[in-house]
């Protein structure tokens, strides 16, 4: 008896699964396929984690990442890793050691930091610290009219801190700024820059590539010529030229805005070409002709047939363009043309890395580099995973 | 000793959705100078069977442990499935066995001239010099009925029409004088008047070169004109096999009968077309027992869905896999 | 011919530009060349030809899916009389309700991101033929049942179906707006033989039920022979012969028709084809031969055929051909 009822429920489950497969929309199928790709899922989690770190960077950082939060007592200091146990015993509360710095003839008049192993400084969680707001606009754009000054959602709680002195998980740089805090902020900055750039590129690409691909003919020819012309512009010399033109009194935000816009304006041709190709191939499909033969308007065809057909490709394209934007911004900041010190972006932080002094003595400056690599790789893997999931030549779309 | 002897060929593919059986216990023999037609619809496993003869299936294919493909080369008999080294397979592929495909545009490299491709093949498989290979290639092009062969030798695939490309492919395949030619739907993409020409050509070449042909198609009319024997496949199994006249005039398997009835015939314009009911099951859902029982009009309720029918002899060299038929070839 | 034809084609030419030149005339490809044809209401009309014959273009020209270069196509169902080549916007919209197309490739003809119900309902919604969702649903169900589709499957997506089932969905979509004229462009070519027969029977029974006129385009003569009342044979853009089916197959006149018929491989291995087999390749439509287009491959071609284009003549009742020698 039991065997038979078990068998029935097995076939019922099978039927349900099959039915679910048959009634799954393209989007659901793509999601299911993506989930089965472990690398992509893992990369997705890493990416989400990093983005969350970026969002909550102020909460997670014990010190302000700017000059205002620098620790004058701990310049060029090595990373301080909290410990639970040392020769003096075990402690539930993690601690770090106190530090002193001194210089003398013996050290060639360089400041040398010494660790006092008897001076334990315990970590506390949810401490009060510097103030930060989630919604803060203080844009000093050129021209008084555009200035924006808004402040809301202000807190001053931080995830951790020490009772005495400073705690610098990744060490400090030469002016005492906490590298850990700067890294977290940098993730956010690079992210924002990338998002803005991708957004601008996407809007332009959608309009131009869309018109080009949908109408074809001479409109397509002209727009393609324009697109190709812009594509040939090499970004680095363009930036150098612009950097020479940017007034130095512009605030960091203004520079940031302009840089992101430039990235977008340079990045749209590639995206536009991809959109155009998608549209051209989908436009000649039989089902589009079938809709036209019903008398459907262009609007209807674009909305119901063409847009859904390449939504998944566009998402993939965006995901893949993102790391390019971040890399471009990082590269430019690295050579001093984009966001520069003291603004934190992954690129500006890596600017400091190329000196011999750093390589020999202050290796912890490299830690943001690791973050940058992980960040970009995560994007790339997620993008690849999405592209595989949305692959038009896979088995389900015969 | 037959040229080719396939024994108990099992082939499964390892996919995301599980193990799919593509070929299920297929056995057949092919002698020199004989044309065997392999007929089936989509999912029948005919192409996959053909590709197994040269181990051309993708890397996720799993062959059965008892499967053997015995090929009679000059001095010895080789089991193709047991060949692992690339060098050994090279002797078989293009040398002893040649293959022509349905889409000639897809099998010629677009950026290399036809002549260069033919010469390349000859250099790999024979000891001819480049000059000798070129001469032989031009000779072959002429033999297959391509006009101005010297000019065509230097042309690219896209410069030739569909029929000519197919002839060029036949020329290329035959230039190494293979013992077995596998033709996978070679005329399906051709216009019917061109198809007639190519089929005539193939029949002539069989007479002249004495090679065997494994002719794969879904078109029973083509089989009738070209093949000596025919094997009908459905979902990876051979359901009926025998001399072409016998199978076409007195089919015994319900699938063969159904296939013949579903064909529009020019000499019986008033008869209605009778399709085979139902759809071909997906390879993921192979029916238990006899693979055809889900659509069979003569299905025996309890038997056909539980056990797999074995070969029953219904005539001279003519057998079928069906419970409904007894050894006299009549339905039970 | 006492009945008024539904579709009357008169000296139709359809040309496509080939490439683009800055100076001088753009070379044109003449896909349909001086075709005159009449299709009566209720007929199941077959259009046969090989590649380059122009049959697909002709079918699409009738539906106004490709522009007409010269000549006339008239559509007259008793209620409206359209000059299809010169339709105004409003008339074109109405024409779309009356003439529909069933495609060849069942996999490309259905939008993969729409449910079957939406696919079939789309013509109704676009053309505004129903007032509300219930009415649309009812119409969809009605036609789906006629096409023998399982109503439970309406909420599935196309990837769930086999080739034959997809073709039925295609047919349902074409018929949901109750057209008077339906063109099937190689609609069974991509299907397995056992399914082909099923779809053909379905088309025939639907025609009886719904009473539309059918133009069946195919390269497969045997299929056409079985279900069509009349057949027209095309070669390189030109009509070579038209006749009622039985007449054409029992008494073909044009050498091309004869060759076409004898090229079909017979199921009888002993039947050796005594009739002509054609030599040579099909000429490219971009560079058609002068005079009679078929003369380069015609087994009985004479000198006249190279120079003069043959006249389209009536040989007997309803049987026309264009050849100097018949």
DSSP secondary structure letter of residue A306: I
Interchain contact A114–B (C-beta under 8 A): no
Residue B328 has pLDDT above 60, yes or no: no
Angle between helices B254-262 and C193-210 (to 10 degrees): 50
Residues of C with Cβ-Cβ distance to B222 under 8 angstroms: 265
In a domain, A59, yes or no: no
In a domain, A289, yes or no: yes
The three-class DSSP label of residue B236 is: coil
How many domains is chain A built from?
2
Q: How far apart are CA A275 and CA C14, in angstroms?
A: 32
CA distance A34 to chain C (A): 18
**Can you give the pTM of this predicted structure?**
0.78
pLDDT digits (tens, 9 = 90+) for A29-63: 777 777 878 888 899 899 899 888 888 888 888 77
Residues of B with Cβ-Cβ distance to A32 under 8 angstroms: none
Residues A153 and A253 in one domain: no
Q: Count CA atoms closer than 13 A to A358's CA, side-chain side.
A: 15
CA distance B144 to chain C (A): 13
Residues of B with Cβ-Cβ distance to A396 under 8 angstroms: none
**pLDDT confidence band for B332 (50 / 70 / 90):** very low
For A294, which of C126, C157, C159 is closest by C-beta distance?
C126
Residues A159 and A217 in one domain: no
Residues A251 and A189 in one domain: yes
Q: What is the mean pLDDT of residues B248-257?
A: 90
pLDDT at C249: 87
For B275, which of C165, C195, C264 is closest by C-beta distance?
C195
Contact C278 B193 (CB under 8 A): yes
Residue C161: closest CA among chain A residues belongs to which residue? A22
In a domain, A34, yes or no: no
Strands B318-321 and B237-243: antiparallel
Q: Residues near A170 by Cβ (< 8 Å), separated by ≥ 6?
A: A79, A178, A179, A180, A183, A364, A367, A368
Last residue of a domain, one of A155, A176, A197: A176
Tokens of C206: 């639907």
Residues of C with Cβ-Cβ distance to A303 under 8 angstroms: none
Tokens of A180: 């850990």
pLDDT at A395: 38
- Terminal Cα distance for chain C, rounded: 23
Residues A253 and A152 in one domain: no
Do residues C170 and C103 touch, judged by C-beta distance below 8 A? yes
CA distance A82 to chain B (A): 46
Residues of C with Cβ-Cβ distance to A309 under 8 angstroms: 111-113
pLDDT at C311: 87
Q: How far apart are CA B124 and CA B127, in angstroms?
A: 8
Domain boundaries, chain B: 108-177, 241-321
Residues A74 and A202 in one domain: no
Contact B41 C192 (CB under 8 A): yes
Residue B95 has pLDDT above 80, yes or no: no
**pLDDT block averages, 10 residues each, chain A of length 398:** 46 69 71 81 90 83 76 78 79 79 75 77 79 69 68 77 78 81 83 83 86 83 88 77 70 74 81 85 84 84 79 77 79 72 73 76 82 86 81 42
Residues A342 and A205 in one domain: yes
Number of helices (H) and strands (E) in chain B: give both, helices first: 11, 13
Residue B204 has pLDDT above 60, yes or no: yes
Residues A187 and A314 in one domain: yes
Print pLDDT tens along chain C (326 aa).
457 888 888 889 998 887 766 666 677 888 898 899 999 998 999 999 988 888 999 999 999 888 888 888 988 888 888 888 888 888 888 888 899 999 888 888 888 888 899 899 999 988 888 888 888 899 999 999 998 888 888 888 888 788 888 999 999 999 998 899 999 998 888 888 888 888 888 998 999 888 899 999 998 888 888 889 999 999 999 999 999 998 888 888 999 998 888 888 888 877 665 555 777 778 888 888 888 888 888 888 888 888 888 888 888 888 889 888 87
Sign of the dihedral defined by the CA atoms of residues B245, B248, B250, B251, in that order: positive
Q: Residues near C295 by Cβ (< 8 Å), separated by ≥ 6?
A: C289, C301, C305, C306
Residues A164 and A221 in one domain: no
Angle between helices A307-334 and A179-215 (to 10 degrees): 140
User: Which of B45, B242, B266 would best serve as a mutation to test chain C binding (most C beta carbons within 10 A)?
Assistant: B266
CA distance C314 to chain B (A): 24
Interchain contact B267–A (C-beta under 8 A): no
Tokens of A195: 């998002």
pLDDT digits (tens, 9 = 90+) for C202-258: 998 999 888 899 999 998 888 888 889 999 999 999 999 999 998 888 888 999 998
Do residues C276 and C258 touch, judged by C-beta distance below 8 A? yes
Last residue of a domain, one of A143, A176, A209: A176
pLDDT at A4: 43
For A294, which of C111, C123, C157 is closest by C-beta distance?
C123
Chains that touch B (3 or more CB pairs under 8 A): A, C
More confident residue, B75 or C237: C237
Contact B245 C267 (CB under 8 A): no
Residues A204 and A238 in one domain: yes
Residues A249 and A196 in one domain: yes
Q: How far apart are CA C288 and CA A194, in angstroms?
A: 58
In a domain, A54, yes or no: no
Contact A23 C63 (CB under 8 A): no
Structural domain span for residue A213: 182-389
pLDDT at A196: 84
In a domain, A247, yes or no: yes
Last residue of a domain, one of A176, A202, A234: A176
Contact A286 C103 (CB under 8 A): yes
Residues of B with Cβ-Cβ distance to A395 under 8 angstroms: 15-17
Residues of B with Cβ-Cβ distance to C195 under 8 angstroms: 275, 279-280
Q: Residues near A155 by Cβ (< 8 Å), separated by ≥ 6?
A: A58, A59, A131, A132, A133, A134
Q: How far apart are CA A241 and CA A285, in angstroms?
A: 45
In a domain, A163, yes or no: yes
Residues A141 and A247 in one domain: no
In a domain, A27, yes or no: no
| pLDDT, chain B, mean | 85
pLDDT at A253: 67
DSSP secondary structure letter of residue A351: H
Residue B17: closest CA among chain A residues belongs to which residue? A395
pLDDT at C46: 94
Residues A371 and A273 in one domain: yes
pLDDT at A397: 34
Do residues B280 and B43 touch, judged by C-beta distance below 8 A? yes
In a domain, A23, yes or no: no
């Amino acid at each position: 008896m039991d065997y038979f009822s078990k068998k029935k429920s097995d076939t019922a489950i099978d039927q349900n699964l099959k039915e679910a497969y048959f009634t799954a929309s393209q989007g659901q199928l793509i999601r299911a396929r993506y989930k089965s790709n472990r690398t992509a899922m893992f990369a997705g989690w890493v990416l989400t984690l990093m983005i969350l770190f970026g969002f909550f960077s102020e909460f997670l950082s014990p010190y302000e990442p700017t000059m205002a939060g620098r620790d004058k007592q701990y310049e060029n200091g090595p990373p301080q890793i909290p410990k639970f146990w040392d020769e003096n015993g075990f402690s539930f509360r993690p601690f770090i050691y106190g530090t002193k710095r001194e210089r003398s003839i013996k050290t060639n008049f360089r400041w040398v930091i010494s660790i006092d192993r008897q001076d334990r400084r315990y970590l506390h969680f949810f401490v009060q610290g510097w103030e930060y707001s989630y919604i803060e606009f203080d844009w000093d754009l050129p021209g008084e009219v555009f200035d924006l000054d808004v402040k809301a959602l202000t807190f001053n709680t931080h995830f951790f801190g020490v009772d005495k002195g400073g705690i610098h998980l990744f060490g400090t740089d030469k002016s005492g700024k906490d590298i850990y805090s700067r890294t977290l902020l940098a993730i956010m900055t690079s992210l924002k820059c990338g998002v803005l750039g991708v957004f601008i590129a996407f809007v332009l690409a959608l309009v131009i590539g869309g018109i080009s691909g949908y109408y074809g003919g001479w409109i397509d020819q002209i727009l393609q010529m324009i697109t190709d012309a812009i594509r040939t512009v090499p970004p680095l010399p363009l930036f150098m030229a612009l950097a020479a033109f940017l007034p130095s009194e512009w605030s960091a935000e203004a520079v940031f805005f302009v840089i992101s816009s430039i990235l977008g304006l340079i990045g749209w041709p590639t995206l536009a070409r991809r959109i155009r190709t998608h549209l051209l191939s989908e436009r000649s499909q039989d089902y589009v002709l079938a809709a036209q033969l019903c008398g459907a308007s262009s609007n209807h065809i674009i909305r119901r047939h063409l847009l859904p057909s390449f939504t998944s490709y566009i998402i993939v394209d965006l995901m893949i363009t993102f790391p390019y934007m971040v890399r471009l911004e990082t590269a430019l900041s690295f050579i001093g043309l984009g966001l520069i010190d003291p603004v934190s972006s992954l690129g500006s932080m890596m600017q400091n890395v190329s000196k011999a002094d750093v390589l020999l003595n202050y290796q912890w400056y490299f830690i943001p580099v690791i973050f940058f690599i992980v960040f970009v790789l995560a994007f790339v893997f997620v993008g690849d995973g999405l592209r595989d999931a949305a692959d038009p030549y896979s088995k389900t779309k015969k | 000793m037959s040229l080719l002897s396939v024994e108990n060929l099992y082939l499964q593919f390892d996919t995301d959705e599980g193990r799919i059986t593509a070929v299920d216990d297929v056995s057949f023999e092919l002698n020199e100078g004989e044309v065997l037609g392999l007929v089936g619809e989509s999912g029948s496993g005919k192409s996959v069977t053909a590709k197994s003869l040269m181990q051309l299936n993708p890397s996720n294919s799993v062959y059965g442990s008892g499967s053997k493909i015995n090929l009679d080369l000059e001095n010895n008999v080789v089991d193709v499935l047991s060949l692992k080294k690339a060098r050994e397979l090279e002797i078989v592929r293009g040398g002893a066995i040649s293959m022509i495909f349905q889409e000639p545009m897809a099998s010629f490299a677009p950026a290399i001239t036809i002549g260069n491709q033919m010469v390349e093949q000859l250099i790999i498989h024979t000891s001819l010099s480049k000059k000798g290979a070129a001469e032989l290639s031009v000779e072959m092009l002429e033999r297959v009925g391509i006009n101005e062969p010297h000019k065509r030798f230097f042309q690219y695939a896209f410069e030739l029409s569909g029929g000519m490309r197919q002839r060029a492919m036949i020329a290329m395949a035959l230039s190494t004088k293979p013992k077995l030619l596998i033709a996978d739907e070679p005329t399906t993409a051709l216009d019917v008047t061109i198809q007639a020409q190519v089929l005539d050509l193939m029949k002539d070449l069989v007479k002249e070169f004495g090679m065997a042909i494994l002719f794969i198609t879904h078109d029973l009319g083509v089989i009738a004109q070209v093949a000596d024997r025919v094997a009908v496949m459905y979902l990876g199994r051979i359901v009926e096999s025998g001399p072409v006249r016998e199978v076409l005039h007195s089919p015994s398997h319900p699938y063969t009968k159904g296939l013949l009835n579903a064909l529009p015939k020019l000499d019986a314009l008033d008869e209605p077309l009778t399709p085979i009911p139902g759809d071909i099951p997906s390879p993921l859902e192979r029916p238990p027992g006899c693979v055809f029982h889900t659509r069979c009009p003569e299905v025996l309720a309890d038997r056909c869905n539980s056990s797999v029918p074995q070969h029953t002899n219904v005539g001279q060299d003519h057998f079928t896999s069906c419970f409904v038929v007894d050894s006299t070839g009549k339905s039970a | 011919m006492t009945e008024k034809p539904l579709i009357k084609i008169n000296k139709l030419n359809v040309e496509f530009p080939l490439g683009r030149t800055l100076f001088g005339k753009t070379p044109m490809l003449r896909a349909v060349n001086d075709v005159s044809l009449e299709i009566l209401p209720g007929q199941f009309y077959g259009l046969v030809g090989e590649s380059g014959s122009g049959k697909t273009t002709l079918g699409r020209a009738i539906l106004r899916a490709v522009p007409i270069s010269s000549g006339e196509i008239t559509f007259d169902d008793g209620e409206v009389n359209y000059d299809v080549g010169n339709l105004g916007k409003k008339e074109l919209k109405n024409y779309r309700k009356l003439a529909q197309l069933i495609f060849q490739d069942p996999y490309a003809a259905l939008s993969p991101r729409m449910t079957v119900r939406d696919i079939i309902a789309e013509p109704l919604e676009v053309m505004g033929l129903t007032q509300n969702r219930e009415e649309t649903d009812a119409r969809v169900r009605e036609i789906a049942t006629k096409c023998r589709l399982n109503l439970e499957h309406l909420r599935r997506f196309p990837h769930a179906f086999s080739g034959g089932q997809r073709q039925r969905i295609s047919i349902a979509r074409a018929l949901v707006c109750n057209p008077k004229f339906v063109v099937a462009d190689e609609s069974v070519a991509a299907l397995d033989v056992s399914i082909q027969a099923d779809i053909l029977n379905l088309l025939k029974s639907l025609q009886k039920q719904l009473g539309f006129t059918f133009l069946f385009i195919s390269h497969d003569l045997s299929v056409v022979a079985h279900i069509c009342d009349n057949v027209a044979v095309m070669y390189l853009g030109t009509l070579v012969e038209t006749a009622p089916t039985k007449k054409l197959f029992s008494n073909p006149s044009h050498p091309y028709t004869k060759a076409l018929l004898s090229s079909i491989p017979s199921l009888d291995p002993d039947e050796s084809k005594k009739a002509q087999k054609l030599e040579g390749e099909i000429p490219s439509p971009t560079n058609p031969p002068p005079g009679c287009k078929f003369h380069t491959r015609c087994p009985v071609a004479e000198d006249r055929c190279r120079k003069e284009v043959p006249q389209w003549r009536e040989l007997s009742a309803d049987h026309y051909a264009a050849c100097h020698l018949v």
